[in-house]
């Protein structure tokens, strides 16, 4: 099914509850949150720590559930079937350090429902795209942060998803790693994939995003088309 909107939030509220002695403490992570992401764009979600960026991502992935409001992913309500068409890179992943990248890809391919032949084809495609080379046979725990980030991106792409969600994809990368990750994201978008990413790096977001949504205190402060040289100013005006 072809959809014009790959992600839709309508008046979404998400409240975290924590028991503290004899009372329940409630914290509103998102309040009356509405957002639309178009098919084919690179959309960046920006905000200070605690503004609701990761919460919105987890709601889209059906890892969390809203207290109220409506969410649609690829034109449908989130479900295991719908989320199987989405690729995801977490900000704080667990990467099985004693597995090689090849073993990790095989595991992710099995979990994605790929046959043995499909897994081999996907592995070859991703090794070529991400220039993994001999790192495919190296234990993940022995790889650099930059290479681990490439391995994470590869596992998100192994089932050839329609939508790719990247939570802080530049986290921990040096300037060369950031440049490489930016190039991979641009290539994937040029191939037709919709990219949604969260980031603290405004200058990097400005280089590749077509639009940006700025969150403040669990609310969407504004959505803007990204223009070079203006994103930082728009961001600061929205969050301060």
Domains of the chain: 1-85+165-172+196-240 (3.40.50.300)
127-138 per-position pLDDT tens digit: 999 988 888 999
Question: Which tokens sit at 158?
Answer: 């192994």
Question: Which tokens sit at 222?
Answer: 């504004």
CA 58 to CA 129: how far, in whole Å? 27
Q: Which of 35, 113, 87 is nearest to 193 (CA)?
A: 87
Quick one: pLDDT at residue 166? 96
CA 201 to CA 173: how far, in whole Å? 11
Question: pTM of the full predicted structure?
Answer: 0.92
Quick one: pLDDT at residue 85? 95
Cα separation of the two ends of the chain: 41
Quick one: pLDDT at residue 24? 85
| Least confident interval from 27-36, 217-226, 228-237 | 228-237
Average pLDDT in the chain: 92
Whether the predicted pLDDT of 151 surpasses 60: yes
Whether the predicted pLDDT of 2 surpasses 70: no
Q: What backbone torsions phi and psi does residue 131 show, to the nearest 5 degrees?
A: 50, 50
Quick one: pLDDT at residue 58? 94
82-95 per-position pLDDT tens digit: 999 999 999 887 88
Mean pLDDT, to the nearest integer, of 45-71? 94
What DSSP letter does each residue of 86-138 carry, written as one string?
EEEE-SS----TTSBHHHHHHHHHHHTT--HHHHHHHHHHHHHHTT-GGGGGS
């Amino acid at each position: 099914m072809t959809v014009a909107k790959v992600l839709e939030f309508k008046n979404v509220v998400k409240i975290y509850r924590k028991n503290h002695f004899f009372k329940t403490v409630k914290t509103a992570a998102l309040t009356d949150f509405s957002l639309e992401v178009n098919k084919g764009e690179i959309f960046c979600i920006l905000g200070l720590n605690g503004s609701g960026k990761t919460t919105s991502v987890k709601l889209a992935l059906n890892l969390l559930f809203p207290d109220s409001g409506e969410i649609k992913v690829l034109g449908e309500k989130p479900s295991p079937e719908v989320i199987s068409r989405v690729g995801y890179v977490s900000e704080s992943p667990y990467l099985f350090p004693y597995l090689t990248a090849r073993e990790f890809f095989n595991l992710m391919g099995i979990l994605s429902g790929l046959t043995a032949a499909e897994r081999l084809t996907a592995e070859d495609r991703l090794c070529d795209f991400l220039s993994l080379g001999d790192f495919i046979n190296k234990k993940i725990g022995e790889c650099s942060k930059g290479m681990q980030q490439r391995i994470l991106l590869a596992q998100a792409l192994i089932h050839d998803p329609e939508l790719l969600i990247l939570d802080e994809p530049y986290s921990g990368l040096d300037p060369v790693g950031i440049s490489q990750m930016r190039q991979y994201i641009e290539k994937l978008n040029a191939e037709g994939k919709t990219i949604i990413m969260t980031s603290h790096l405004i200058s990097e977001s400005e280089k590749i995003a077509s639009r940006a949504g700025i969150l403040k205190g669990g609310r969407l402060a504004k959505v803007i088309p990204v223009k070079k040289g203006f994103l930082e100013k728009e961001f600061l005006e929205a969050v301060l």
